[in-house]
């Protein structure tokens, strides 16, 4: 039933992307870069911001939700009708990677996110000494995920490196899984 409803809604070529991650991972910077906004001064997101990106003829509604520990209990209020979960990881913050893994694991058991794909966006890869894809993959235990279609992609929110490729992945995944045309 959920699949039928999704496909009916997506005839309008519209997607809902939920962008989550720990605070200071770069979620808002990613969204601002995609929108062509200034990324030199970003304040922590308190609550949520909805932005729309037109990408290759599709409308992508991005729900950017704050990642501070006090806000994480409210994340579940934003799960409804999510097509793709963008999980942003700060690749320079090895000290909090276990927290990052636990929060992601908690998300992946949420029933309302079961139909969503997962794109792990490894941010800040332009910083020397950041964690490798393999390190992030191992720490987050991505190979153990069986409930969601997933991929990992490195990027830099500040430079825009690989952000178009991330959006292309989101769109290609949606076309393959959700769209009728």
Residue 45 CA to its chain's centroid (Å): 15
Give pLDDT tens digits for 120-150: 999 999 999 999 999 999 999 999 999 999 9
Tell me whether residue 123 is annotated as binding.
Answer: yes
Q: Is the pLDDT of residue 8 over 80?
A: no
Rounded to whole angstroms, the Cα distance separating 1 from 75 reads 24
The SS3 of residue 141 is: coil
46 vs 61, more confident:
61
For 147-159, what is the mean pLDDT?
A: 95
What number of other Cβ atoms are within 10 A of residue 166's Cβ?
Answer: 20
Residue 5's pLDDT band (boundaries 50, 70, 90)?
low
Q: Which pLDDT score is estimated for 164?
A: 96
Give pLDDT tens digits for 82-119: 999 999 999 999 999 999 999 999 999 999 999 899 99
Q: Is the pLDDT of residue 27 over 90?
A: yes
CATH of the domain at 29: 3.40.50.300
* Domain assignment present for 38: yes
Cα Rg of the chain, angstroms: 15
CB environment 61-99: b (16+ within 10 A), e (fewer) = ebbbbbbeeebbeebeebbebbbbbbbbbbbbbeeebee
Specify burial of residue 46 (Cβ count, 10 A radius: 0-12, 13-18, 19+). Answer: exposed
* Domain assignment present for 109: yes
Rounded to whole angstroms, the Cα distance separating 29 from 26 reads 5
pTM: 0.91
Tell me whether residue 45 is annotated as binding.
Answer: yes
* Domain assignment present for 27: yes
* Domain assignment present for 100: yes
* Domain assignment present for 6: no
Is residue 149 within 8 A of residue 130, CB to CB? The reply is no
Q: For all residues of the chain together, what is the average pLDDT?
A: 91
**Options 41, 68, 135, 161, the catalytic residue:** 68
* Domain assignment present for 2: no
Instruction: Give me the domain span that covers residue 48.
Output: 12-159+169-180
Q: Which pLDDT score is estimated for 38?
A: 84
173 vs 42, more confident:
173
- For the chain, what is the domain count? 1
Q: Which pLDDT score is estimated for 176?
A: 87
* Domain assignment present for 28: yes
Q: Which pLDDT score is estimated for 67?
A: 93
Active-site residue flag, 68 = yes
Tell me whether residue 47 is annotated as binding.
Answer: no
* Domain assignment present for 132: yes
């Amino acid at each position: 039933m959920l699949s039928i409803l999704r496909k009916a809604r997506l005839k309008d070529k519209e997607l809902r992307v939920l962008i989550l991650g720990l605070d200071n991972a770069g979620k808002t910077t990613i969204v601002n870069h995609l929108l062509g906004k200034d990324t030199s001064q970003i304040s922590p997101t308190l609550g949520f911001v909805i932005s729309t990106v037109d990408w290759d003829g599709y409308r992508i509604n991005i729900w950017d939700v704050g990642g501070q520990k006090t806000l994480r209990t409210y994340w579940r209020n934003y799960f409804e009708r999510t097509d793709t979960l963008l999980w942003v990881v700060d690749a320079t913050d090895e000290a909090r990677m276990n927290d990052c893994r636990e929060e992601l694991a908690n998300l992946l058991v949420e029933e309302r996110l079961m139909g969503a794909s997962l794109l792990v966006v490894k941010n800040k890869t332009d910083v020397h000494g950041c964690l490798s894809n393999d390190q992030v993959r191992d720490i987050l235990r991505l190979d153990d995920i069986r409930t969601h279609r997933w991929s990992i992609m490195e990027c830099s929110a500040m430079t825009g490196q690989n952000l178009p490729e991330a959006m292309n992945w989101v769109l290609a995944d949606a076309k393959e899984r959700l769209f009728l045309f």
